[in-house]
Amino acid sequence: MKGKIVLHLDMNSYFASVEQQANPFLRGKPVAICAYLSPRGAIIASSTEAKAKGIKVGVGVQEAKRLAPDVVFVENEPAKYRCVTARIFKIMSEYSDCLEPYSIDEAFLELTGWAKNIKEAEKIGLELKERIKNEVGEWLKCSIGISYTKFLAKFAGDIAPKNGMVSITSENLESYLNRELTDAWGIGRAMSVRLRLLGIQTLLELKQVDPIFIKRQLGSYGYYLWANVNGQEITKLENGIKIPKSIGHSYCLAKRTTEKDYLRTVLAKLCEKSGRRLRNLELEAKNATLYLQYMSGAHLTKTIAAGESFFTTHEFLAPLYDFLTDAQLLGPVRMMAMTLTKLSPVSDQLGLFSNRNKIKNLSRAMDLVNNRYGEYTVTSGLLFNSEKIARDRVGFRKTVSFEQ
């Protein structure tokens, strides 16, 4: 057994479990979480009871009703999930000085030096489960994986039974690898097809293949996969929130339309959410891109470049707002996205003829007020009514901030 120890925690049926914890009348019932309650909506998360009846992510509302007439639909409340996540991560941070949030319902914990061996790590895992149950919610369950690399810890967590725990050591590694290729983190359908064409059918066969052969056939990524299943550390934990390469938000419109007032309100909401994340990370951006997708599948894209850099929401919202106002739309819009790129740490360099630092500080002050007292406490007039038109959402694969 290697000296390094990593723990991976994955909350089970997270959004639905949080709703069942908050509302005891939902417990034991098939619960389906929707982005918005609409006959055309789709399920973004489901409870254990709903999954047992075939109601999974992506299933439409009408199909869910057919599969389980007694299903209870609940519109998602991202603020509620983020709050619960912060409490869970706070507990985890008490066991190590290196916690890496992976998504809103997953995190890695570096236990090297905090646990002497795998048995002590397992005790910490059990204690985490118990504390989450007692301090956050009795209806919240999690799966835990423990191993000597980040990849194997997540693999162990992914294959662990619901509310269970799996520990992978160098001695028992191969006993867990006689599984589908797609059971491993980083191997999707396309890569699994390429591996099968090379005669590799399982993760165990991938482990046993000649590394020189796999690298020649699939390049460095092929070697990366081989190294991962052989227990070689490739990706180390990153303490705290990662600095992203881009910041953005997308929104599938409940109302497919060419109505400019509606679309501009959605744009304002997306820009404000992106701007808040940008400032929270103390970053600034050089480029901002607006993306519209029509019902036909065609799309419209516009990228604007900053004179200095973007930091306040208004600096990139205003030009994108003007572009959308003047744009000739080809049909009803079904999805809108905006992205900030070319990110760098914020600079507070004073300009000779500019009051930009005062504007930056004003934006920071508004963020503090909204963080403390709730969204839209202090906001631009462009965001008026946007909380009703573009409801807040959260994705599983998005890192969330938390306080230690």
Please state the separation of Cα 234 from the chain's center in Å: 22
User: To which H or E segment does residue 248 belong?
Assistant: strand 247-257
Q: What is the DSSP string of 281-322?
A: TTEEEEEEEEEEEETTS-EEEEEEEEEEEE-SHHHHHHHHHH
Q: What are all long-range contacts of 212-218, with beta carbons under 8 Å and residues at least 24 apart?
A: 218/194
- Give 275: exposed, middle or buried? Use CB within 10 Å, 0-12, 13-18, 19+: buried
Q: In which region does residue 194 sit, left (phi positive, over 0), alpha (psi from -120 to 50) or beta (all else)?
A: alpha
Whether residue 152 contacts residue 186, with contact meaning beta carbons closer than 8 Å, is answered with no
Cβ atoms 121, 7 nearer than 8 A: yes
- 3-class state of residue 13 by DSSP: coil
With contact defined as beta carbons under 8 Å apart, do 265 and 385 qualify?
yes
Whole-Å CA distances, 318 to 88, 191, 337: 38, 42, 16
The secondary structure of residue 11, as a DSSP letter, is E
Residues acting as catalytic residues: 106
